[in-house]
């Protein structure tokens, strides 16, 4: 068995048949391979590894170059995707070898963190990943926002075809990336495909500056207005977009938008009828998972106070003893020392991403911590809700 990196052109004959079989209805349409080939222009910056035996591709795994804000630092991130093996080659450890190669490669390329959407979280937990919150879907009737129609808000909303509004939409995404913990974006090559979507974009502006954006489509008169993540720089941008949505009363019966797990749609109006939901289910509706690939790269992250020396166990990439401290709220990192606590890479990643409290890290079996270590880790890495957006 040989593992090698394949080029964009080679993907059609190597990884595509595995992916099509694993993720699409099959047998697929006759032009499935041509359609895949046409989409490859959006994936030229992706990295793909395959496992081959006697000239046959038995497994593949890929990574998309992304960027993610983790506690105030924007890192290069490996967005792992297209992990699949041939049914007759499963449970032979091929994907384990591919993932190990892929993660080492992305770390060497400068990725400090990695994220993915798992088919089954326990599979990726074996590779050090840990869950972070899934975005919520808020579904509501536009009538619930009617009081906003009477407000004279200091700003405006413009509706454009996505092609025309995409540059402004993407610029807002990049501003949010700089400020919002957990926020992740694709590179220009991958995100160019979204410009071709059949969708509108609503852009909220205050004094000419974009402060909110929503991609959406309407599925019919009296039907649904189906929105993407509702992005805003703050409450005014959000209110401008909600006021725009309120104007669709009697045109659509329901509106759906996606939100971070800490956003509360029930507070948007007095008579809101709203259901906010996040269904988590294998294999197609799981919450995202993340892991740290490079510990020294975390230096400078916005943290709490104090310090502790930790041993990270069971991981080739970040295993070892690390001394963590806080210098005026910024993380300091030094290798070595006498460990005061033991963490798995998943436990460490959960603390870095602010998704779990140290007590939960302990109760979930992601670390061996005494009461003092829990206290100190909690002060150094206070929980903080990460928002990694994705629209489903």
Q: Which residues bind ligand COA (CB under 6 A)?
A: 22, 59, 83-85, 90-96, 118-120, 122-123, 126, 283
Phi-psi region of 47 (alpha: psi -120 to 50; beta: other; left: phi over 0): beta
Q: Is the Cβ of residue 22 or residue 333 nearer to ligand COA in the bound state? A: 22
Minimum gap (Å) between residue 166 Cβ and ligand COA = 28
Q: How far apart are CA 258 and CA 236, in angstroms?
A: 18
Closest C-alpha to 392, from 278, 237, 305, 310: 278
Q: Is the Cβ of residue 85 or residue 342 nearer to ligand COA in the bound state? A: 85
Minimum gap (Å) between residue 121 Cβ and ligand COA = 9
Q: Is the Cβ of residue 116 or residue 297 nearer to ligand COA in the bound state? A: 116
Minimum gap (Å) between residue 83 Cβ and ligand COA = 5
Q: Is the Cβ of residue 21 or residue 194 nearer to ligand COA in the bound state? A: 21
Minimum gap (Å) between residue 353 Cβ and ligand COA = 19
Minimum gap (Å) between residue 125 Cβ and ligand COA = 9
Tokens of 167: 């540059």
Tell me the three state secondary structure of residue 53: strand
Q: Is the Cβ of residue 225 or residue 317 nearer to ligand COA in the bound state? A: 317
Instruction: Name every residue whose Cβ is closer than 8 Å to that of residue 351 and which is 6 or more positions away in sequence.
Output: 343, 358, 361, 377, 381
Instruction: Name every residue whose Cβ is closer than 8 Å to that of residue 180 and which is 6 or more positions away in sequence.
Output: 69, 387
Q: How far apart are CA 78 and CA 225, in angstroms?
A: 33
Q: Is the Cβ of residue 223 or residue 283 nearer to ligand COA in the bound state? A: 283
Instruction: Name every residue whose Cβ is closer than 8 Å to that of residue 274 and which is 6 or more positions away in sequence.
Output: 138, 139, 140, 144, 265, 266, 268
φ, ψ of residue 330 to 5 degrees: the values are: -115, 135
Minimum gap (Å) between residue 3 Cβ and ligand COA = 12
């Amino acid at each position: 068995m040989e593992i090698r990196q394949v080029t964009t052109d080679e993907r059609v004959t190597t990884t595509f048949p595995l992916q099509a079989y694993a993720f699409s209805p099959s047998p697929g349409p006759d032009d499935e391979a041509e359609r895949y080939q046409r989409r490859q222009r959006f994936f030229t910056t992706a990295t793909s590894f395959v496992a081959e035996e006697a000239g046959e591709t038995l497994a593949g795994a890929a990574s998309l170059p992304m960027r993610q804000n983790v506690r105030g630092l924007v890192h290069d991130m490996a967005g792992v995707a297209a992990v699949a093996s041939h049914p007759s080659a499963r449970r032979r450890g091929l994907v384990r070898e591919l993932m190990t190669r892929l993660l080492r490669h992305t770390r060497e390329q400068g990725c400090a963190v990695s994220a993915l959407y798992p088919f089954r979280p326990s599979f990726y937990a074996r590779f050090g990943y840990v869950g972070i919150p899934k975005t919520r879907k808020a579904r509501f009737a536009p009538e619930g926002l009617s009081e906003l129609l009477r407000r004279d808000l200091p700003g405006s909303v413009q509706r454009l075809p996505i092609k025309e509004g995409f540059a402004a939409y993407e610029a807002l995404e990049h501003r949010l990336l700089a400020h919002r913990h957990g926020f992740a974006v694709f590179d220009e090559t991958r995100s160019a495909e979204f410009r071709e979507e059949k969708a509108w974009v609503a852009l909220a502006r205050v004094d000419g500056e974009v402060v909110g954006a929503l991609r959406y489509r309407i599925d019919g008169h009296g039907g649904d207005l189906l929105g993407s993540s509702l992005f805003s720089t703050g409450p005014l941008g959000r209110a401008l977009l909600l006021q725009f949505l309120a104007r669709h009363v009697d045109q659509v019966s329901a509106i759906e938008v996606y939100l971070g797990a800490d956003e509360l749609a029930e507070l948007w109006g007095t008579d809101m009828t709203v259901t906010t939901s996040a269904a988590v289910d294998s294999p197609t509706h799981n919450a995202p998972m993340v892991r740290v690939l490079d510990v020294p790269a975390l230096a400078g992250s916005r943290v709490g106070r104090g310090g502790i020396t930790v041993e990270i166990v069971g991981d080739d990439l970040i295993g070892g003893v690390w001394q963590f401290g806080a210098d005026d709220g910024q993380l300091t990192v030094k290798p070595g020392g006498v460990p005061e606590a033991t963490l798995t890479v998943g436990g460490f990643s959960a603390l870095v991403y602010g998704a779990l409290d140290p007590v939960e890290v302990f109760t979930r079996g992601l670390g061996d911590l005494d009461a003092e270590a829990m206290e100190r880790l909690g002060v150094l890495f206070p929980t903080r809700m990460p928002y990694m957006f994705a629209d489903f």
